Amino acid sequence: MSLRICDWKYGKRWVYSITYDEALIDLHRFAVPFHEEFGIPGHLEVVVGQIGEVRQIDGSSFNGYRHMNGDELKDLMARGWGVGNHSWTHVFIKPEMVDQELRVAREVLEQAIDAPVPLYCAPGSNRNMAPHILEACRQLGYLGAMSIREGINRPADECYWLDRSPLIHEYPPPFFSKHDPFRNILPARQSHGWVIDYCHCPIEEPIHINKDCSATQLRKRLETVLAEGGDEVWCAVPEEVVFYHLSRRHATIDVVGDSVNDRRYQISFTDLPAGVTCKELTFEAEVPAAWCNFPRIWVDGVAQTAELVRPQVLRATVDVGDGVEVGFRAG
Ligand SMILES: [Zn+2]
């Protein structure tokens, strides 16, 4: 018999998240209603120096649109969305600006939404993923940093360079690749990856064809994720995915009991970052066939229902807290 921690929560095969840079109020026109309809959570990347204000950033395609204020961000959080720090000014963060852009901005944002902000999302370009910035993210206790590089994130990757899939009308020159509602879904499925879509504020027509898609394209993307993903995809806010990812990577399993009638394991954490406030893990165990009748997992001696995945394989999601003993017994 063996116990393993699943790559993703609930034993899902791949993961889907979607981010909306700039957190503009016009998301309520199309994006928010789509999310309500499909039950997929979204994620807002906030330019903290302009919370609640009409955007005015040098050269931005989104100038003239209004950023959400604290109450409007909180309203979406109440609907299951998450919020990240997209810097204070949205310009290149020089070493001497790190304190304002990463520490002060996060503090102000946390006060505005009355919740912790564990994720940084690079503004502008991957220049804002420079080593001095990622080092500051680690020092300041961020749990992850989202880039503007296309790709999927895999179960063995670390979180200080998360890739995102551009959900845009057309790639910039010289490729001009057109919007593809299937983008990265097959690779994610095959390599148990995590897709994080990147866009801004889809409306009737893309505000900028290299930075955004239309509302119709967004809707098609969400429909495609659900149709292709079925029961295999975990649609979640990046915070919950990062909590799971870090808990899994920092967990250790030790066998503490092994007899013909029961097997017990101690779960503990080593160097788990303090910002991980939810430590739920999904376990899968191979057990004798007889233990699959009325399946249970015992957590610190208390029985919880386990799921029969297939003959001799049980699965359960457990709040591990700061360490528990889990076990399986003969029925
Ligand atoms: Zn931005």
Q: What is the CATH number of the domain that holds 184?
A: 3.20.20.370
pLDDT of 1 reads: 65
| Residue 123 sits in the same domain as residue 251 | no
Per the domain annotation, does 6 fall within a domain?
A: no
| Residue 215 sits in the same domain as residue 248 | no
Spatial strand order of the sheet with 302-305 comes to 251-258, 262-269, 324-329, 296-299, 302-305
| Residue 221 sits in the same domain as residue 318 | no
| Residue 231 sits in the same domain as residue 323 | no
CA of 28 to the centre of ligand 1 (A): 18
Average pLDDT per block of 10 residues along the chain, 331 residues long: 94 98 98 98 98 96 97 98 98 98 98 98 97 98 97 96 96 92 98 98 96 97 98 98 98 95 96 96 96 96 96 97 94 76
Q: What is the CATH number of the domain that holds 277?
A: 2.60.40
Closest CA to 303 of 280, 319, 327: 327
pLDDT of 251 reads: 97
Contact 18, 167 (CB under 8 A): yes
CA of 210 to the centre of ligand 1 (A): 13
| Residue 108 sits in the same domain as residue 248 | no
pLDDT of 331 reads: 76
CA of 74 to the centre of ligand 1 (A): 20
CA of 86 to the centre of ligand 1 (A): 7
| Residue 286 sits in the same domain as residue 225 | no
Task: Please give all residues whose CB falls under 5 A of ion ligand 1, grouped by chain where several chains appear.
Answer: 21, 123
CA of 22 to the centre of ligand 1 (A): 5
| Residue 100 sits in the same domain as residue 185 | yes
Per the domain annotation, does 100 fall within a domain?
A: yes
| Residue 36 sits in the same domain as residue 171 | yes
pTM of the predicted model, to two decimals? 0.97
User: Number of folded domains in the chain?
Assistant: 2
Range of the structural domain that residue 253 is part of: 244-329
| Residue 194 sits in the same domain as residue 157 | yes
